Amino acid sequence: MTTLVPFTQLERSNASEEDAPTALESSWDRADWQRMWLRTQDLDWRTLALVPGDEQTSTLAVAHLIARLAGDRGESIRVADTRALRLNEVEAFLEEARREANRSTRVIFATKSPSGSLAAVPLAQAADCTILCVSPGSTSLAATRITIEEIGRTHFRGSLLVGPSAAPKARR
């Protein structure tokens, strides 16, 4: 397994994940984001699954960032927020994703962790490329191992260090 962005943490903006694409004003000014873009381009994919290693890590902002960087280069990438997708809806979703991919549109699946949604497993297994997203200080090694085991090691093409989805709650 290769590391896509070694020892780099993507910082969260103050914007919500839904606002992430518009909150990234100068996406090409960040060396870590450029490195992430270049490394995803080294992989051969039409569909890419971003799978968090735990329930606290979200992949939606990362998916939007990749799509934004692609758009800046004139490439069309569709972000599919699959976090609420149910297991019985996966096949219909994958059929639509394959149609998009056949029309030369890349599709990124922003999934929940398998511990939060079993739909993440067949989505990751069906994608051309799957990347494990982990949050330093949040994602445990045990949770990472479970995620890799549930999906299957051979499906992963790399990993990405990202910031946690929410700031830790203060303890009183």
User: What DSSP designation does 128 have?
Assistant: S
Separation CA 27–CA 86 (nearest Å): 33
- From 21-30, 74-83, 102-111, 128-137, the region with the lowest mean pLDDT: 21-30
Q: Which CATH superfamily is domain 2-12+42-162 in?
A: P-loop containing nucleotide triphosphate hydrolases (3.40.50.300)
Q: Would you state the pLDDT for residue 119? A: 97
Separation CA 59–CA 62 (nearest Å): 5
For residue 122, the one-letter residue type is P
Compute CA distances 119 → 49, 122, 167, whole Å. 12, 6, 26
Q: Would you state the pLDDT for residue 13? A: 29
Q: pLDDT tens digits, residue range 107-161?
A: 999 999 999 999 999 999 999 999 999 998 889 999 999 999 999 999 998 888 8
